[in-house]
Amino acid sequence: MAFVKGVWRILVTIKDGLVLLFLLLFFGLLYAALSWSPAPAGSVSSGALLLKLDGTIVEQPQEADPMALLTGSGSRMKEYRLSNIIAALDAARDDDKVKAVVLNLNGFIGGGQVALARVGKALDAVRAAKKPIYAFATIYTDDSYQLAAHATESWVDPLGGVAVMGRGGSGLYYKGLIDKLGVNTHVYRVGTYKSFVEPFIRSEQSPEAKQANQALADALWQNWQDEVAKARPKAKVAAYAGDPAAAATGAGGNLAKAALNAGLIDRLGDEAAFGARVAQVVGEAPDERPGDFAAIDLGTYMKAHKRVNGGQIGVITIAGNIVDGEAGPGSAAGDTISALIDKALAEKELKALVVRVDSPGGSVMASEKIRSAIMQAKAKGMPVVASMGNVAASGGYWVSTPADIVFAEPDTITGSIGVFGILPSFEGTLAKMGVTTDGVRTTPLSGQPDLAGGTTPEFDRIMQMGVEDIYRRFVALVAQARHRSPQQIDAIAQGRVWDGGTARQIGLIDRFGGLEDAIAEAAKRAKIDPAKARPYWIEKEPDKFTQLLQTISQREEDDDAGAPTDLLGQQAMMQRNWAMQALADVQALVSGAGVRADCLECRGFGAPRVTQVNRQGWLGIALNLLR
């Protein structure tokens, strides 16, 4: 009888859960139906294309969690797909209804130098078509100014300014905390410069890591200055960034005037004055509110000019951390990516494959699974071309090795050819609480790895040998792909990270060029006229219900208070986002794949990504790290 009652309770619990779920879905759909409108209010068919970028530009946006959208617990930081923005700007260039392009960068977080340089190139093409570009922000930082430099007229609020920070910054090192907790960190690695594990075994950067990171930061910073100088020759960026205090002092402490004096911006004015200026060129807004102008909504315009899908050149995107198992877009899951490639090769008559990589790496097993799937295309005689975005390092380089030719940009971060594994054990922590362990063994590996009692020398030795063997395989793959000897590759590997310009000099990449260049090259190798080549985007079909909820959620957020626009508030927000990503990286390291081809320092150049950590809170993260 007790058994029957127990089963009945389980059934009732399941029933109640299903009823609650259906109620949530019902009210969600009802709210969606009542809230849905074909286009946001204020959008017009003719005027200025408004790029109000409240978030980050990414290669591939992450898939939203439907339950997080329903409960309002998800991250509010938006992600804009790079190719969609480029397609919109390319269409605007020849669209008579688009009189100008407006960049509202108050809420812009960033996007990486490669992505922003590509947007800048598209903006230059709009200007070449005799259409003005207007940019506005209260505070410009490096990434937002990289876009604003391409504007015909750049404005800044009189209470704002331009904060050019340059590349570089500090990272978190946990050895002091680990020692206090009594945690024993077992590290298995190959690569003098493989600094991912250093935060767990050191309290500061090693000299080798600092040297490599400084060289990378210097190269990227110089490239940033060169692009800004080319787009805006009159801007005295070097002097302004080199001594910002002197620039501010010369303007009586007014940062906006200091930027104006240095030629970084053209005019001072608040958002209302900026809008009135744009309205003079493109016309007033239908609601006739002061400072408004006839604005074409970016989301609506991108839908009307979305990228065409159905060509013969397959394009697979490997974006985000490379992880085991399955995951949605924005995270490069080994099972998901390999299944997508297998399905496309089986069902579509593809003539070539382009591998677009924007990843700092991750799991070795997942990287190899993706590489093996790409090799199937080569086995069918198809040309394979790699196209590197902001980052293609460690596992991101691993999956690029099947390519016949590798395209990258001078600002691409690549290399980091090295392998590591990390495993914490808590015998010291338990000993502080008076807890010890003991047992029996039949072999040297019995009960290993023992997280409570510690690892044995035999286990550590085997793990180190395993990591060294994977490193040799990694080097061999690169040597075969680059037509070099393993010794030559080992000399430039060792986990060191390179900028794209240096990577080309040492033979890790072949040519400079973007995704369009890679598609054209793939077509040429497949004996297809590059002018007639069209891509087939190999991606998971988006969930319609999730898209609907995300659209509604974003429209609600448009009515909310925006991101802070003053210098202190904006930088504090950025640092919070970076801190959350750093903690997410640590959590993934502790709970994710054991052996990794990953690049921690690569994440610091670009913009922080939306992570699941945003929904857990600081306490939850800390507890997860100690599990």
Question: From residue 286, how far is each of 96, 106, 279, 294, 337 by CA, in Å?
Answer: 19, 23, 11, 7, 46
Please tell me the distance from the alpha carbon of residue 528 to that of residue 313, in angstroms, as a whole number.
10
What is the token pair recorded at 106? 């108050």
Of these residues, 52, 99, 194, 369, which one is catalytic? 194
Please tell me the distance from the alpha carbon of residue 142 to that of residue 476, in angstroms, as a whole number.
39
Contacts of 353 (CB under 8 A, 6+ apart): 313, 314, 315, 316, 341, 374, 377, 382, 383, 384, 385, 522
Question: From residue 42, how far is each of 297, 317, 556 by CA, in Å?
Answer: 8, 34, 15
State CA 508 to chain mean position distance: 22
Q: Are residues 237 and 228 in contact, defined by beta-carbon separation less than 8 angstroms?
A: yes
Q: Which helix (H) or strand (E) element contains residue 389?
A: strand 384-393
Angle at the Cα of 623 (from 620 to 624), degrees rounded to 5?
85
Residue corresponding to tokens 């990953």:
598
DSSP for 190-224?
E-TT-GGGHHHH-SS--HHHHHHHHHHHHHHHHHH
Q: Are residues 264 and 135 in contact, defined by beta-carbon separation less than 8 angstroms?
A: no
H helices, E strands: number in the chain: 24, 22
What is the token pair recorded at 428? 């010291």
Please tell me the distance from the alpha carbon of residue 162 to that of residue 143, in angstroms, as a whole number.
11
Instruction: Report the SS3 class of residue 307.
Output: coil
Residue corresponding to tokens 């150049």:
605
* Amino acid residing at 403: A
DSSP for 538-566?
E-PPPPHHHHHHHHHHHHHHHTS-----S
Does residue 394 have an active-site annotation? Answer: yes
Q: Which helix (H) or strand (E) element contains residue 121?
A: helix 113-128
Q: Are residues 602 and 416 in contact, defined by beta-carbon separation less than 8 angstroms?
A: yes
Side-chain-side CA neighbours of 512 within 13 Å: the count stands at 12
- Check the CA dihedral 86-91-94-96 and report its sign: negative
What is the token pair recorded at 335? 């099972």
Please tell me the distance from the alpha carbon of residue 160 to that of residue 138, in angstroms, as a whole number.
5
Could you say which DSSP state residue 161 is in? E
Please tell me the distance from the alpha carbon of residue 247 to that of residue 242, in angstroms, as a whole number.
9
Does residue 485 have an active-site annotation? Answer: no
Selection from 589, 574, 539, 576 nearest residue 108 by Cα: 574
Selection from 556, 586, 545, 604 nearest residue 78 by Cα: 556
What is the token pair recorded at 469? 């063997």
Residue count of the chain, please give it.
Answer: 627
Which alpha helices (DSSP H) does 2-81 contain, by range? 2-35, 66-71
Of these residues, 338, 394, 425, 553, which one is catalytic? 394
Q: Are residues 415 and 379 in contact, defined by beta-carbon separation less than 8 angstroms?
A: no
Please tell me the distance from the alpha carbon of residue 293 to that of residue 48, in angstroms, as a whole number.
8
Catalytic machinery residues? 194, 394
